[in-house]
């Protein structure tokens, strides 16, 4: 059985003072969770979030990682910096990075290689746009993104990576994929992982759903056999909503 994982993606929200309030509220509300609980916070919140979450079941993640170890990469953040700040997880290839910041399957792959080398637990995001879904390209887009992300990565390393299936049309829009749509596409992504690495890896790998997951739809989504948790944007910013989702998973 795969242990579900619920990860909050705070995106570019929460100052350090706001981070303190949210984590402090969350700690008692998620303490009995049966799933892994992660908050992926802005870089400036990582050290504080890690300090507040120390000794609790909340793990801290970042939202990006550089492929280089150090050097002339203005605006990037290195594995060593993230580790020292206290991050354990890292989101790679979120659709907002692909859409607004030029992230490609090749850069996602480079970042994933570095994250694995440096001992992080990566959450790799894949998913189709509305045009691609309506054009019948959901599977081919997801396959290209998964194959591209995992290029050169061993089966052993791949097993520990989490994939987040996030249809772009469902992110921040209030439109959720139906339980069946999410289950079906995640099942397809698992079959791609099986083609790449075999059944032992595809059976072990956790694949989350992301896209307007909230307290109203979490139960239906989590009841589906292929869905191993969620990557939560908007609903991760309020302790009541996020803890509700965590406690249903
Ligand atoms: C996300 O940012 O990964 C996400 C799924 O956002 P939201 O839950 O707001 O759609």
* Mean pLDDT split into 10-residue runs, the chain, 249 residues: 96 98 98 98 98 98 98 98 98 97 98 98 97 96 98 97 96 89 98 98 98 96 98 98 97
β-bridge mates for residue 162, sequence order: 123
Name the CA dihedral angle for 70, 76, 78, 79, rounded to a multiple of 10 degrees.
Answer: -150
Nearest to 53 by CA among 80, 101, 87, 14: 87
β-bridge mates for residue 92, sequence order: 124
Active site residue 84: no
Distance CA 83, CA 80 (A): 5
Angle, helices 179-197 vs 138-149, to 10°: value is 40
The active-site residue, picked from 94, 96, 103, 128, is 94
Given this model, what pLDDT does residue 50 score?
98
Task: Tell me if 228 CB under 6 Å of ligand 1.
Answer: no
Distance CA 157, CA 176 (A): 31
Task: Tell me if 241 CB under 6 Å of ligand 1.
Answer: no
Task: Tell me if 172 CB under 6 Å of ligand 1.
Answer: yes
Given this model, what pLDDT does residue 213 score?
96
Angle, helices 239-248 vs 16-29, to 10°: value is 40
Task: Tell me if 212 CB under 6 Å of ligand 1.
Answer: yes
From the CB of residue 45, how many other CB atoms can be counted at a distance below 10 Å?
26
Given this model, what pLDDT does residue 175 score?
84
Please tell me the distance between residue 39's alpha carbon and the centre of ligand 1 in angstroms. Answer: 13
Tokens 């959901």 belong to 138
Given this model, what pLDDT does residue 176 score?
85
């Amino acid at each position: 059985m795969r242990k579900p994982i619920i990860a909050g993606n705070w995106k570019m929200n929460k100052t350090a003072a706001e981070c303190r309030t949210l984590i402090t509220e969350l700690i008692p509300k998620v303490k009995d969770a049966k799933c892994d609980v992660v908050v992926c916070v802005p870089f400036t919140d990582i050290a504080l979030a890690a300090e507040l979450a120390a000794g609790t079941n909340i793990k801290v993640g970042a939202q990006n990682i550089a492929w280089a170890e150090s050097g002339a990469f203005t605006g990037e953040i290195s594995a060593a910096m993230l580790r020292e700040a206290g991050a354990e997880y890292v989101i790679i290839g979120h659709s907002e990075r692909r859409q607004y910041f030029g992230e490609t399957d090749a850069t996602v792959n480079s970042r994933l290689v570095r994250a694995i080398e440096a001992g992080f637990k990566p959450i790799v995001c894949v998913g189709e746009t509305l045009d691609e879904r309506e054009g019948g390209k959901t599977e081919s887009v997801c396959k290209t993104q998964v194959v591209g992300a995992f290029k050169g990565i061993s089966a052993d390393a791949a097993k520990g990576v989490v994939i987040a299936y996030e249809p772009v049309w469902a992110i921040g829009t209030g439109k959720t994929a139906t339980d069946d749509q999410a289950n079906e596409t995640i099942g397809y992504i698992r079959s791609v992982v099986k083609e790449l690495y075999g059944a032992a890896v595809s059976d072990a790998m956790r694949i989350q759903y992301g896209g307007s997951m909230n307290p109203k739809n979490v139960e239906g989504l989590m009841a589906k056999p292929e869905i191993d948790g969620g990557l939560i944007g908007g609903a991760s910013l309020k302790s009541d909503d996020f803890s509700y989702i965590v406690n249903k998973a």
